[in-house]
Structure 1
Amino acid sequence: MLNFILAAAPAAGENPYGIVAALKEGGIITIATFAILVGMSIFSFYILFTKLLQQQKIINQSNKVRANFWASANLKEAANKLEKKSAYRAIVEDAILADEQHGKLTNPVDQHDWMHGSLERSKNSIGNRLGEGLAFLATVGSTAPFIGLFGTVVGIYRALVKIGAAGQASISTVAGPVGEALIMTALGLVVAVPAVLAYNWLIRRNKSIMEDLSAFTNDIHGYIMSNGTVKPVMAAPAAAPKPGTTTGGAPVKPAARS
């Protein structure tokens, strides 16, 4: 890939200070810096899109839970309504298993603490999966500017070497190395800024998802501890008003037909 880029040297009349010319001018160090930054950018966007898909999948699962989960007769029936790989189904199945295992303990443990610990482990496992890859985005955001700065330092050094060899600081002597240095600086920022924005956005979305999961685990905990008598109150859909009635004030009379 890099050989192809270097082979595509600018033709006559084109800008001799573009990215291809800068890579040829900078040599192996500039090429390696450029390749590292491009690789970091590609992986950053890959993590961004995969995490967005993962988050949206759990958000859709949350909507299904709100729609019909608590209308079921028991937890097993409710779990069967969810997708097999659903995060919410995993929590319910872990809760059912923990409830069954509690009766098999030889050393008595308070059921409330046992269930709470089991649900927390299940929820934290989902949170860990959501957080995978975010450390890479944070690393890219913090290190990419310095990698670009390294390319800048090399470019400035090459400019100084050319000035010393030529004996004078003409524009034609230093334009190539200085242009290479500026390109590396800009590329480092172009890679770092999207990574930081993606990291903050994904962290905020993960926080919202984890809040929903915490509320769900709390509802499951209360349901099991109360033998199914305590569960969230599902708001019934508002009925359409009948003709001639209102929610307040004087009744509305149907319009007279002509």
Structure 2
Amino acid sequence: MNFFSLMTQGGVVSQLVAILLLAMSVSSWVVILWKTWLLRRAIGDVARSIAAFWQSASVDEGQQKVAAFDRETLVLPLIAATRLTGQGTLALAGDKAQQLTRVLRDALHAVLHKLHFGQVLLATVGSTAPFVGLLGTVWGIYHALTSIASVGQITIDKVSGPVGEALIMTAAGLAVAIPAVLAYNVFGRYVNRIEADLEGFARDLRELLTHKG
């Protein structure tokens, strides 16, 4: 018997656990593949975009150059946010440095939300999948022992088979959790690297426009 046999032949609890683990695995792998593609593009794009901006003669020219590199739209929102609007409102209250700090902070938070998307799911799957698998194992062992006891005579041969089959749930839980945990840690390092680059760019951009104004 394998994992898929447990789904068809096990009890209701075993089937629900198997379906939940399958859903966790599919969702985590979708996020893993998507974030791998996103972050590989983002790392290079952010570095090229920032370099192109500072090699420009003006902010307008820099924004046009960045648009050619920033495929994931991570740097452009920071530049666009510096176009202060809302004359006569609290949005333009205070000096220019305060205004730029506020709009750049808001734009940076929106960009980082995009980069962090999926991290919570990976963390949740990585931390809960082993316990979900363990629940399936415990229930499977209980169900197996109950079935054996109803037969009458209990031997090692009759116990070892069903118990071993139930342990497949534990292995399935670990198989779901391990890729999610590894991906969470690897992606976290890349996200932190991009975040540091964007925060530095936002700080330098604010200083540039404050002294320019």
TM-score (norm 1): 0.73
RMSD: 2.1
Cα distance in 2 between the residues matched to 1:121 and 1:57 = 23
Give 1:47's aligned residue.
Answer: 31
Out of 136, 149, 152, the residue aligned to residue 164 of structure 1 is 149
Structure showing greater radius of gyration is 1
What is the SS of the residue equivalent to 2:10?
A: helix
Out of 196, 199, 203, the residue aligned to residue 218 of structure 1 is 203
1:76-106 CA distances to partner (integer Å, 9 max, x unpaired)?
Answer: 11101122752111111111x12xx37x236
Unpaired stretches in structure 2, ≥5 consecutive residues: none
Out of 101, 120, 125, the residue aligned to residue 110 of structure 2 is 125
What is the SS of the residue equivalent to 2:11?
A: helix
Cα distance in 2 between the residues matched to 1:23 and 1:179 = 15
Assess, with a 3 A threshold, how the Cα gap between structure 1 residues 21 and 172 changes in structure 2: closer, same or farther. farther
1:133-191 CA distances to partner (integer Å, 9 max, x unpaired)?
Answer: 11111111111111111111111111221232122322443244312321001111111
Unpaired stretches in structure 1, ≥5 consecutive residues: 1-16, 229-258
Assess, with a 3 A threshold, how the Cα gap between structure 1 residues 51 and 189 changes in structure 2: closer, same or farther. same
Contact 2:7 2:19 in 1 (8 A): no
Cα distance in 2 between the residues matched to 1:24 and 1:179 = 17
- Greater RCO structure (CA 8 Å; 6+ sep): 2
Give 1:88's aligned residue.
Answer: 75
Of residues 17-26 and 213-222 in structure 1, the stretch that sits farther from structure 2 once superposed is: 17-26
How many residues get paired? Answer: 208
Assess, with a 3 A threshold, how the Cα gap between structure 1 residues 176 and 115 changes in structure 2: closer, same or farther. same
Contact 2:6 2:15 in 1 (8 A): no
Contact 1:22 1:179 in 2 (8 A): no
How far the C-alpha of 1:217 sits from its partner, in A, is 0.5
Amino acid at match of 2:55: A
